Every structure is written in structure tokens, then in C-alpha cells.
A = this chain, B = another copy of it.
Amino acid sequence: MRNKIKTADEAVSVIQDGASIMVGGFMSCGTPEILIDALVRKNVKNLTIICNDAGVPGRGVGKLLTNGQIKTLIASHVGLNPEVAQRMNTDNEDEKLECILVPQGTLAERIRAGGAGLGGFLTPTGVGTIVAEGKQVLNVNGKDYLLELPLRADFALIRGSVTDKFGNTTYNGTTRTFNPMMATAADHVIVGTCEIVEIGEIDPNNVVTSGIFVDTIVGGEEPWQI
């Protein structure tokens, strides 16, 4: 079997300017910081980042924002990172950030749909609001729903707690968040994980992400801290 274990810098070497990248986590709890750090070092630009939120400056995707690497951010909440507003309103075209807001449940479901081969789904969330603008409204059994489309990306950077050498991954506590769906919805998946174990050490009943989704494993992820 192919060895999937690499250093963080080796792992992100395949990511080029203009890539779309899903990043797991919620307020950067469950975000692979070591992979973000490597992406900052590589300094690729014009990225489209799909992540629940913009975190805070100096944490998670906030680091990519500070370093001017994000062109488009697709997220459900960006209010706790003041740099988002600064970059959205800047006159400097090179630094200008486009921010696309998606309801959190819709974002999670769109990523799931992207990984599960669905062409879309009908959700009541957003009906009658500006989220509905430009979207098809379908009425099923007397109730209106928005047709929301699947979301995929070139890369997913996910964060595991325990990963075996095949890539089977578990997530401890609230680090799970968007990671399992993102692992299914990107062409190339890199997991930054806290602990790498031998194949067979994780109970098959408790694996959350199958190793078939994982292209590269990077060890040395540290615990999250406020």
C-alpha cells in the first residue's frame, strides 16, 4: 500500500494559486492549523476558501486572510474576524475579499451533497429572505423550499484526532464539525491529525471518515486552544 504520510509542506505542495479549498472546523476548533501554517509558508494566492467561519485573526483561516491569500470566502459567519470587513471594503483590488454567506445548515448539506453525488436538495431555510435571491423555489406538499446546489472543492484540509495509516479518521469532541463532509467533497484530501496509529487500531464501528477519502496524512496537529 502507498505510504500516505508526508510533512505538512510536502502535503500542501500540490496546491496552486487559484485553488478552491475546504477547511474543516468551527471557530478553528477542528481546523488543521499545521496545514494552514504550511499554506501560509507556500503563500499561494487567489484562493477560494470554504469554511464555516472566518475564525479570528491569527487562528485557522484567519491566518490566510491576514496573509492576503483569500480571494473568495464561502462561510456562514465572519463577524468575529474584523479583517473580513476591512478586506471586503478595501480599494486595493489585490487585497479585496469577496465573501459569500451561506446558512450554516445549508452549507453543511451542500458539502454533503457534493460528496454524495446529489444534484441538490430542497431546504426550507432561507425562504423569503435574501438567501433565496436567484434560487429556484419549489413547492412540495404545500410548503416552499429553496433548491440548493452541491458544493465541491479542489482540496479539503481536514483535522483528525486519531488517523490510521490508511487514513481512517476519528474526531474527538466538537472537532468533528464540517470535517467528515469535506473529506468526501474534494478531489484531494489532506488530513492533519493529532495521532497516527497502525491500521487496525481503530474499531471499524468507530471510524468516522474512511481512509478511501484521504490522500495524504500529516501528523503533529496540536490541541485547539482558545
| A121 adjacent to B113 (CB under 8 Å) | yes
| B120 adjacent to A122 (CB under 8 Å) | yes
| B121 adjacent to A172 (CB under 8 Å) | no
Q: Is A109 an interface residue (CB 8 A)?
A: yes
A173: B residues at CB distance < 8 A? 204-205
Q: Is the interface of A mostly helix, strand, loop or mixed?
A: mixed
Q: Is A79 an interface residue (CB 8 A)?
A: no
Closest beta carbon of chain B to A16's beta carbon, Å? 24
User: Across the two chains, which residue of chain B brings its CB closest to A208?
Assistant: B205
A205: B residues at CB distance < 8 A? 170-173, 206
How far apart are the CA atoms of A119 and B124 in the complex, in Å? Answer: 7
| B124 adjacent to A122 (CB under 8 Å) | no
A2: B residues at CB distance < 8 A? none
